[in-house]
Structure 1
Amino acid sequence: MCVICRVLISHPQGQSFGSYGEESRIDSELCHLVGGEMREVEIMQEDIDKPEDDSNSNSSSKKGGSSSGKKSGLLEKSQSASGKSISPDHVKKSSQSQTVSEVSTKLSLKGKSPPEKPPINKRNNKILKKSNTGIVSMKKEKGSKLQNGTEDASESWLGNPDLGPFLLKQARDLVSAGDNPQKALELALRAAKSYELCANEIPNLELVVCLHVTAAIYCSLGQYNEAIPLLEQSIEIPLIEEGQEHALAKFAGHMQLGDTYAMLGELENSITCYTTGLEVQKQVLGETDPRVGEICRYLAEAHVQALQFDEAQRLCQMALDIHRENGSSAVLEEAADRRLMGLICETRGDHEAALEHLVLASMSMVANGQEAEVASVDCSIGDAYLSLSRYDEAVFAYQKALTAFKTTKGENHPAIGSVFVRLADLYNRTGKLRESKSYCENALRIYEKPTLGIPPEEIASGLTDVSAIYESMNDLDQAIKLLQKALKIYNDCPGQQSTIAGIEAQIGVMYYMLGNYSESYNSFEGAISKLRACGHRKSAFFGVALNQMGLACVQCYAIHEAVQLFEEAKSILEQECGPYHLDTLGVYSNLAGTYDASGRLR
């Protein structure tokens, strides 16, 4: 039973690639991130004249400059990278220079031109009432100043319809410059307050955009829980019956909220938001729009992260059908669909189908001038050949990818290390242990001294892969050492709870194999708690982890706790794998033994 559990909890050594060009892991979080490197927003606002305070001026009033123009928010889609291995999550940190998530459609928010400013009495710091308007004079609070939108404004100033766009522009400029994100957050919050005061309970799409930007700034600061209420508020404001712009604003809110939940590792909530966003998008754009296909693929990637491969395959096939129907205008999108479908088929053990999809994707990418991205597909093709025991063809595919990566990325890039890991795995499977260890050492030299600018998660992922090979060589001490290094890296990265849980479970398995049952129990305890929090309660992986923790409890003489764990594992595996699956049968055997030990013979 221990061997069965070890195999299922272990990170698979066969690696694949996501539906886009960047290499990553299946056990990564979504790479379609809030405020991440692949998403940006352009919020174009006409600048407005700010009030001036000139205590030396003797004039009683001076007419303020007017500001007019179009206020618009532009939300555009981007592509995301999916991941490479099967234990949960891997993400890139949000970039502070980009403020709000892109989605698959363009949202143009048009507002009325701001009214001309009334004259300002600089001596008394008052806004005078114009004779031809109904504007009431407002007295600025004592000691309150507004300089470049960076100092406190009174409630009366926040009611100025020109102030929201001005403050939001200041916040956007700070974020774009990468300076003082905390001040940018303060300005964005003040802008949102101004928009709310001016909205008069009328749905205001400019307020929606402001909330999206503010939430993205929170995410760039790592304050994801603070972003969620703002995004929930932004979803409630647009009314679908008001037209396409309202519908697309609601869609954008659902997608950004899903991204935020994904960063927190709450995959169930994330998938729920994405699914709702997809339904809204279908209402607006129709069932066969290419952008709907892209969101189908994106949602499929989310299901892959949650290890829900049946639903992932259904959605990916839907995306493939949509893009195929759109013909030559969606050739590259179809190639991305096939890459993801190849990944899903490979994970499900359908290696021939995976190979077919990957070869077609490679041919399409070469035909459309994406030779630089083909190296990643070649690695996936090599994985499929390796799974089919076609070793010579696998070596050829890996060597081809290695040559391309050295040309485009340099000798010490982690992508080179990933190919070394694949070759090490291949030679380990064919019994050439010396060559396998040599490639492992070459990979570790790259991972231990990475080039500048490489995301730390990519290094941790590589260490995890090398650890799996050392484990298969029965060098458990070295494998644990590498996993602990990876764990230390992931602990410093946001949104990695599922990945950390997978690594802790793997460490628990190896401690169990070494006979260190107390350490095994502690590792599994941490892994189980994180998996519960991340929404993996219904996955087969979670059931196997529960079973293995139950075995550790038996060795620690915690029989009653073991019974509870085995019973929970039994219910999950019966649902996910069926009553006759080997894992389920193993749990039955373990449960019978613990019942016997606790005197529950019936």
Structure 2
Amino acid sequence: MEEEEVDKPEHDTHSNSSSKKGSSSGSKKSGKLDKIKSASTKSASLSSSKKKVDSEASSKLSPKGKNPSEKSPIDKPNDKILKKGNVGIRLMKKRRNSPLGGVKLPNGTKDESGLDNPDLGRFLLKQARDLVSSGDNPQKALELALRASKSFEICANGKPSLELVMCLHVTAAIHCSIGQYSEAIPILEHSIEILVPEEGQEHALAKFAGYMQLGDTYAMLGQVENSTNCYSTGLDVQKQALGETDPRVGETCRYLAEAHVQALQFDDAQMVCQMALDIHRENGSPASLEEAADRRLMGLICETKGDHEAALEHLVLASMAMVANGQESEVASIDCSIGDAYLSLSRYDEAVFAYQKALTAFKTTKGENHPSVASVFVRLADLYNKTGKLRDSKSYCENALRIYEKPVPGIPPEEIASGLSDVSAIYESMNELDQAIKLLGKALKIYNDAPGQQSTIAGIEAQMGVMYYMMGNYSESYNSFKNAISKLRASGEKKSAFFGIALNQMGLSCVQRYAINEAAELFEEAKIILEQECGPYHPDTLGVYSNLAGTYDAMGSMSTKKTWIICCKLGQVLCMMN
């Protein structure tokens, strides 16, 4: 049986930011509230790193790009099986009037008696695939696939059946193609339960394919934690079947590492990506395109974690591997990442050189109005903004917007939305908040609640909440944070540091609206999450301690004890840090 692969949609990660301290009031109550300040003392750098992740993770990390349809189980017919069934299929066509394989009875029902014929399942599955390939009638294809599954299940008689599993994978893929992701999950779970890896390598690899497809389906629903868990389990199954140093295991490691990057789980991503690099070293092969892709991903991870020197080393090696394999056209995107590393190291001249080199290559290979060109304009705008050359920065922002607002045909909408978000961040840093919010609003309309983009949409809404807060529009800020947090809860990101920071920011909005009890609940939840994810000494955690103490103080005498406890804890942490 062929090993099935399903492309994982590249999801953009959400952005992050901080808010300013709320304005003071003359009243006694608001005077106490003035003690509450934002916890996001490092949000500027965190926001910058998240936007690099957005840009890099949405680009093609592997030089060997594949069309998603090539990996879909729908388009992978089992020729060996179909050849054996040709004679039976011709006979069935003569015997049956319905394409579903049953003769219509006078009362309009279908005769299910023929489902115990294995040739029927193969025939129905082929018909379903043909319909999906033509794109004519996905609902009809789903009916055929479901009947094929039933036929295979009857014929299997309770025994593990690769044909049944393959059919279930196809059925789940059809459900996903028409947006029925929730219906696909139990089907894939059933396909995983059927197989026993001890039956042989084919069974193990089919089980691996099921886990990966299930992970992709969870990803489309925005359930990041469930998605990465499925990928991790699939990787373990594949290791047992193929061995830990098989090159195919390395490819899965990169796939899982990319998923961890999307989920902002950079420590896990680095560990898995290092496993992929170790496999390349164990196999002793010369620098390949696969290794270049792994090194590029590792460079992105190191850059996001603040290890800029290590990032630069990996990126330069990736660039050399690309050139050695005759992939000069792909080097431009790596040059952009090299420029990012130089920018982080404040080596501005070298960053400009890397960006200009990439810009020239993109204009030559993709045209002057391609979003890749706009992405370099955004990087140059960011560089000149950081070096105080605001006029040059705005000029590059305008050049980028001209491309994003009139994109060339065939460009994924998500790429345009990501670019608009990046430009918005630059305008925000220039304190042009109206323009920044306007651009984020356009990005939000492009995403339009698309499946698999819930975390990204939540990040944009949280960013808008921050800017509304800075403008003093606390009601809009509260509503934006409320929408963002509800999406993050639904997508299973209730344990991330970003979720904790978003809770803290929403708490600040509640304070400004005098919803003190709700603010205290949000700060408490943020405290628990940030203590676990960042530790008690992290500036974000310390900020939440301060906000929580100020909130309890504002609530009056009933919360005096809680205020004292929080203040003592904050004092202990500060003393230990000194």
Post-superposition offset of 1:400: 0.8
Post-superposition offset of 1:112: 6.5
Q: Does 1:226 align with 2:176?
A: no
TM-score (ref. length: structure 1): 0.81
Post-superposition offset of 1:168: 1.1
Post-superposition offset of 1:180: 2.0
Q: 2:505 aligns with which of 523, 548, 561?
A: 548
What corresponds to 1:66 in structure 2? none
Q: Quote the Cα distance in structure 1 between the aligned partners of 2:427 and 2:102.
A: 73
CA contact (8 A) 2:257 2:268 kept: yes
Q: Quote the Cα distance in structure 2 between the aligned partners of 1:125 and 1:539.
A: 57
CA contact (8 A) 2:273 2:298 kept: yes
Post-superposition offset of 1:585: 1.0
Q: Quote the Cα distance in structure 1 between the aligned partners of 2:266 and 2:66.
A: 24
What corresponds to 2:145 in structure 1? 188
Q: Quote the Cα distance in structure 2 between the aligned partners of 1:434 and 1:356.
A: 33
Q: Does 1:40 align with 2:37?
A: no
Alignment of 1:155-304 (within 5 A): 155-304=112-261
Post-superposition offset of 1:217: 1.2
Q: Does 1:445 align with 2:408?
A: no
What corresponds to 1:331 in structure 2? 288
CA contact (8 A) 1:35 1:220 kept: no
Q: Does 1:8 align with 2:43?
A: yes
Q: Does 1:71 align with 2:71?
A: no
CA contact (8 A) 2:276 2:294 kept: yes
Q: Does 1:342 align with 2:299?
A: yes
Q: Quote the Cα distance in structure 1 between the aligned partners of 2:512 and 2:276.
A: 49
Select between 517-526 and 184-193 the one with higher mean Cα deviation. Answer: 184-193
Alignment of 1:499-514 (within 5 A): 499-514=456-471
Q: Does 1:403 align with 2:439?
A: no
Select between 550-559 and 491-500 the one with higher mean Cα deviation. Answer: 491-500
Q: Cα gap change, 1:413/1:144 in structure 2, threshold over 3 Å: closer, same or farther? A: farther
What corresponds to 1:376 in structure 2? 333
Q: Quote the Cα distance in structure 1 between the aligned partners of 2:474 and 2:166.
A: 53
Q: Quote the Cα distance in structure 1 between the aligned partners of 2:254 and 2:456.
A: 22
Post-superposition offset of 1:44: 3.0
Post-superposition offset of 1:594: 0.5
Q: Quote the Cα distance in structure 2 between the aligned partners of 1:225 and 1:32.
A: 31
Q: 1:601 aligns with which of 536, 541, 560?
A: 560
The structure richer in helix per residue is 2
Select between 204-213 and 26-35 the one with higher mean Cα deviation. Answer: 26-35
Q: Cα gap change, 1:31/1:200 in structure 2, threshold over 3 Å: closer, same or farther? A: farther
Q: Quote the Cα distance in structure 2 between the aligned partners of 1:372 and 1:337.
A: 18
What amino acid does structure 2 have at the position aligned with 1:12? Answer: S
Deviations 1:452-505, CA, capped at 9 Å, x for gaps: 111111110000000000000000000001001111111252211100110010
Q: Cα gap change, 1:329/1:367 in structure 2, threshold over 3 Å: closer, same or farther? A: closer
Aligned residues: 519
Which stretches in structure 2 are left out of the alignment for 5+ residues? Answer: 1-17, 21-38, 562-578
What amino acid does structure 2 have at the position aligned with 1:373? Answer: E
**Aligned-partner SS, 2:483:** helix
Q: Quote the Cα distance in structure 1 between the aligned partners of 2:323 and 2:110.
A: 57
Q: Quote the Cα distance in structure 2 between the aligned partners of 1:516 and 1:361.
A: 46
Q: 1:465 aligns with which of 408, 422, 435?
A: 422
Q: Quote the Cα distance in structure 2 between the aligned partners of 1:545 and 1:503.
A: 11
Q: Quote the Cα distance in structure 2 between the aligned partners of 1:40 and 1:125.
A: 30
Q: 1:142 aligns with which of 93, 101, 105?
A: 105
Deviations 1:109-167, CA, capped at 9 Å, x for gaps: xx965775897998x989xxxxxxxxxxx99442599xxxxxx8520233332211111
Which stretches in structure 1 are left out of the alignment for 5+ residues? Answer: 47-69, 73-110, 127-137, 146-151
Q: Quote the Cα distance in structure 2 between the aligned partners of 1:441 and 1:521.
A: 31
Deviations 1:294-340, CA, capped at 9 Å, x for gaps: 11121111111221111111111111111121122662222111111
CA contact (8 A) 2:424 2:437 kept: yes
Q: Quote the Cα distance in structure 2 between the aligned partners of 1:519 and 1:6.
A: 23
CA contact (8 A) 1:464 1:483 kept: yes
Q: Cα gap change, 1:30/1:578 in structure 2, threshold over 3 Å: closer, same or farther? A: farther
**Aligned-partner SS, 2:469:** helix
CA contact (8 A) 2:53 2:261 kept: no
What amino acid does structure 2 have at the position aligned with 1:383? Answer: D
What amino acid does structure 2 have at the position aligned with 1:39? Answer: K
Q: Quote the Cα distance in structure 1 between the aligned partners of 2:320 and 2:63.
A: 25
CA contact (8 A) 1:324 1:334 kept: no
Q: Cα gap change, 1:114/1:125 in structure 2, threshold over 3 Å: closer, same or farther? A: closer
Q: Does 1:533 align with 2:490?
A: yes
Q: Does 1:574 align with 2:537?
A: no
Q: Quote the Cα distance in structure 2 between the aligned partners of 1:292 and 1:29.
A: 17
What amino acid does structure 1 have at the position aligned with 2:81? Answer: K
Q: Cα gap change, 1:524/1:139 in structure 2, threshold over 3 Å: closer, same or farther? A: closer
Q: Cα gap change, 1:117/1:511 in structure 2, threshold over 3 Å: closer, same or farther? A: closer
Q: Quote the Cα distance in structure 1 between the aligned partners of 2:133 and 2:529.
A: 47
Q: Cα gap change, 1:120/1:567 in structure 2, threshold over 3 Å: closer, same or farther? A: closer
Structure 1 runs (4+) greater than 6 angstroms displaced:
26-35, 117-122
Calculate the aligned-residue CA RMSD, in Å.
3.0
Q: Quote the Cα distance in structure 2 between the aligned partners of 1:514 and 1:33.
A: 44
Q: Quote the Cα distance in structure 2 between the aligned partners of 1:257 and 1:202.
A: 22
Q: Quote the Cα distance in structure 2 between the aligned partners of 1:12 and 1:429.
A: 12
Q: Quote the Cα distance in structure 2 between the aligned partners of 1:416 and 1:330.
A: 28
Q: Quote the Cα distance in structure 1 between the aligned partners of 2:66 and 2:149.
A: 19
CA contact (8 A) 2:121 2:148 kept: yes
What amino acid does structure 1 have at the position aligned with 2:289? Answer: L
Q: Quote the Cα distance in structure 2 between the aligned partners of 1:586 and 1:286.
A: 47
Q: Among the aligned pairs, what percent are the same residue? A: 74
Q: Quote the Cα distance in structure 2 between the aligned partners of 1:14 and 1:117.
A: 55
Q: Cα gap change, 1:537/1:548 in structure 2, threshold over 3 Å: closer, same or farther? A: same
Q: Cα gap change, 1:331/1:27 in structure 2, threshold over 3 Å: closer, same or farther? A: closer
Post-superposition offset of 1:529: 1.1
CA contact (8 A) 1:144 1:154 kept: no
Alignment of 1:465-484 (within 5 A): 465-484=422-441
What amino acid does structure 1 have at the position aligned with 2:351? Answer: A
Q: Quote the Cα distance in structure 2 between the aligned partners of 1:355 and 1:388.
A: 10
